[in-house]
């Protein structure tokens, strides 16, 4: 199957940016793909990585790109239970405060260092509904890393005096530092009515809900709250991706 025009365009863009970067300071090119839940981030990131690797293997005999989902940085259910309001944390799982932002920030800082050895990141297992530590390897030869997730272009306001960074109302300013570590920031623009349908079906398939009706309740509840936060506090980005490409 031939890649779509936008997938090819973004793959070419990534390779061009990578070659330009090597002339300035050799290292990895870090790209973020962000958007609301159900916007198609994983599909698009994987498609671009696949196209980049097709080109690089043909020209140089090596796959230079990898996709890295942010999902592995979900707090475990055990960690959610230790938060001040465990019930709200479980209900809002997927909100900024239910992620290990510190761990994600540390990995991105490591990826910014000159590549010398394999790095490891957690994955998320939907069957057990928890992250699996060190389940994704990022090889030193993988020089274009496309990270996809909800909050990679997130610019929340400063926490007011007396506020708490761990609440939904005042997300941690660390998200701004995470966003600043990327060389390119891409955002997928997908209408919420499309994402709601995708999420309802996804929740049903994953066994999170018992019926499609419950899937829509979740999609239009906590998922919509998270989507509204993402859209309200979306930071500056370099490229917008059409929903029709994913």
Q: Walk along the chain (246 residues) and give the pLDDT tens digit of each residue.
A: 556 668 999 999 999 999 999 888 889 999 999 999 999 999 999 999 999 999 999 999 999 999 999 999 999 999 999 999 999 999 999 999 999 999 999 999 999 999 999 999 999 998 899 999 999 999 999 999 999 999 999 999 876 545 554 455 568 889 999 999 999 999 999 999 999 999 999 999 988 899 999 999 999 999 999 999 999 999 999 999 987 556
Measured CA to CA, the distance from residue 170 to residue 160 in angstroms comes to: 8
Strand partners, 32: 147, 185
What is the spatial order of strands in the sheet that 65-69 belongs to? 65-69, 144-149, 29-34, 184-189, 239-242
Q: Which fold has domain 5-245?
A: Rossmann fold (3.40.50)
The pLDDT score that the predictor gives to residue 195 is: 96
String of DSSP letters for 125-193: ETTTTEEEEEEEEE-TT--EEEEEETTTTB-PPPPPTT--TTSSSS--THHHHHHHT-SEEEEEE--HH
The pLDDT score that the predictor gives to residue 240 is: 95
Q: State the pTM of this model.
A: 0.92
Q: Where are the domains of the chain?
A: 5-245
């Amino acid at each position: 199957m031939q890649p779509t025009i936008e997938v090819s365009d973004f793959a070419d863009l990534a390779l061009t940016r990578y070659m330009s970067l090597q002339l300035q300071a050799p290292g990895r090119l870090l790209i973020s793909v962000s958007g609301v839940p159900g916007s198609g981030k994983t599909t698009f990131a994987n498609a671009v990585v696949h196209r980049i690797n097709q080109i690089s293997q043909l020209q140089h005999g090596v796959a230079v790109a990898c996709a890295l989902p942010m999902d592995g940085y979900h707090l475990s259910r055990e960690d959610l239970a230790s938060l001040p309001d465990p019930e709200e944390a479980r209900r809002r799982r997927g909100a900024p405060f239910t992620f290990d932002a510190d761990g994600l920030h540390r990995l991105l800082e490591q990826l910014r260092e000159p590549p010398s050895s394999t790095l490891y990141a957690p994955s998320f297992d939907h069957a057990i509904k928890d992250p699996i530590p060190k389940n994704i390897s990022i090889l030193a030869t993988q020089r274009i890393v496309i990270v996809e997730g909800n909050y990679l272009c997130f610019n929340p306001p400063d926490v007011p005096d007396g506020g708490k960074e761990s609440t939904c109302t005042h997300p941690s300013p660390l998200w701004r530092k995470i966003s600043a570590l990327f060389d390119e920031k891409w955002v997928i623009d997908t209408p919420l009515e499309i994402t709601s349908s995708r999420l309802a079906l996804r929740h049903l398939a994953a066994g999170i809900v018992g019926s499609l009706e419950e899937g829509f309740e979740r999609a239009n509840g906590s998922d919509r709250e998270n989507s509204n936060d993402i859209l309200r506090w979306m930071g500056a980005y370099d490229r917008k991706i059409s929903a029709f490409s994913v």
